[in-house]
Amino acid sequence: MWSRESIEQYRQDGYLIRREPIFDAKQMVRLTEIFEEHLANRGAKRADELDTPHFADHRLLEFLLSDRVLDLVEPLIGPNIALWSSHFIAKEAYQGRRTPWHEDSAYWQGRVDRVDQIVTVWLALDASTRENGCMRVIPGSHRGGHYVYGPVDTEQNTFTTEIQNVDEARAVYFELQPGQCSLHDARIIHGALANQSDHRRAGYTMRYMATTTHVIAEANPNFPIWLARGRDLAGNTYANG
């Protein structure tokens, strides 16, 4: 699925872009319909807060455990793969909040014993552009160690804190068409600007870890994980056996 050069780029830069659609047109229609259901039934949640929808809606496992996705992930973290999490994220037209600079791994400290073998697949459900707040990353920042966070306003931002002193001139913007995806290391600095356009930006994040990663059960109550491919290597318990 990836050339040797692409895998080396991932090691160095911490991300890859896949322009060839993962799923066929019928699958994309089905996935988008599922997302629209969750969006319509979100209640008091914001459109960017539809976390772990697959816990209750097992229709999503068709996509999350698909060989088409796992074949993209395996060259990056190896053949033994666990499904860690998923998240529908929508930035509504003119309303979508800014996503502060952050590392995904910072929010998982204490929940797993290592964060160096976790990858996120970000699948575009809508066109994702600079105008509507596409993801942006700082290349190579996954190799930079720990960063200093400071508080931000939650009315305008999706999180309460943000990495300080980020050189935004280095940012690479992930502009994607529906069906295309990006992949990024959990430790890379990334974020997104607010949606100031008249077009919604929606995506589905699918997160995977090598099964050499141990999930600390007492720190993850009611947080099931699935064995997606291969075998367990860290003594984890899986929802599918």
- pLDDT digits over 90-101, tens only? 999 998 899 999
pLDDT average, residue stretch 185-191: 97
What DSSP state is assigned to residue 164?
S
For the chain, how many structural domains are there in total? Answer: 1
**Cα dist. 138→12, 99, 172 in Å?**
12, 14, 6
pLDDT average, residue stretch 180-204: 96
Whether pLDDT at 146 is above 90: no
Whether pLDDT at 145 is above 90: no
Count Cα neighbours of 11 within 13 Å in the Cβ-side half-sphere.
9
Q: What is the pLDDT of residue 119?
A: 98
Residue 120 lies in a domain: yes
All residues at 6 or more sequence positions from 117 whose CB lies less than 8 Å from its CB, including other chains: 77, 78, 209, 210, 212, 213
Whether pLDDT at 156 is above 90: no
Range of the domain at 183: 4-221
Residue 181 lies in a domain: yes
Whether pLDDT at 75 is above 90: yes
Instruction: Write out the H or E segment, with its range, that includes residue 27.
Output: helix 25-40
SS3 108: coil
Residue 241 lies in a domain: no
Residues of the chain with pLDDT > 70, as a percent, come to: 100
Whether pLDDT at 154 is above 90: no
Q: What is the pLDDT of residue 86?
A: 98
Mean pLDDT for the chain?
Answer: 96
pLDDT average, residue stretch 111-122: 97
Residue 240 lies in a domain: no
Distance of CA 23 to the CA centre of its chain: 17
pLDDT average, residue stretch 204-226: 98
Residue 193 lies in a domain: yes
Whether pLDDT at 220 is above 90: yes
Q: What is the pLDDT of residue 241?
A: 78
Question: Mind giving me the DSSP string for 36-83?
Answer: HHHHHT-TTS-TT-EE-GGGT-GGGHHHHT-HHHHHHHHHHH-S-EEE
Whether pLDDT at 153 is above 90: no
Whether pLDDT at 1 is above 90: no
Residue 161 lies in a domain: yes
Q: Is 72 left (phi over 0), alpha (psi -120 to 50) or beta?
A: alpha
Residue 150 lies in a domain: yes
How far apart (Å, rounded) are the C-alpha atoms in residues 32 and 23? 12
Residues of the chain with pLDDT > 90, as a percent, come to: 91
Q: With cut-offs at 50, 70 and 90, classify the pLDDT of residue 175.
A: very high
Residue 30 lies in a domain: yes
How far apart (Å, rounded) are the C-alpha atoms in residues 7 and 162? 29
Q: What is the CATH number of the domain that holds 172?
A: 2.60.120.620
Give the global pTM: 0.95
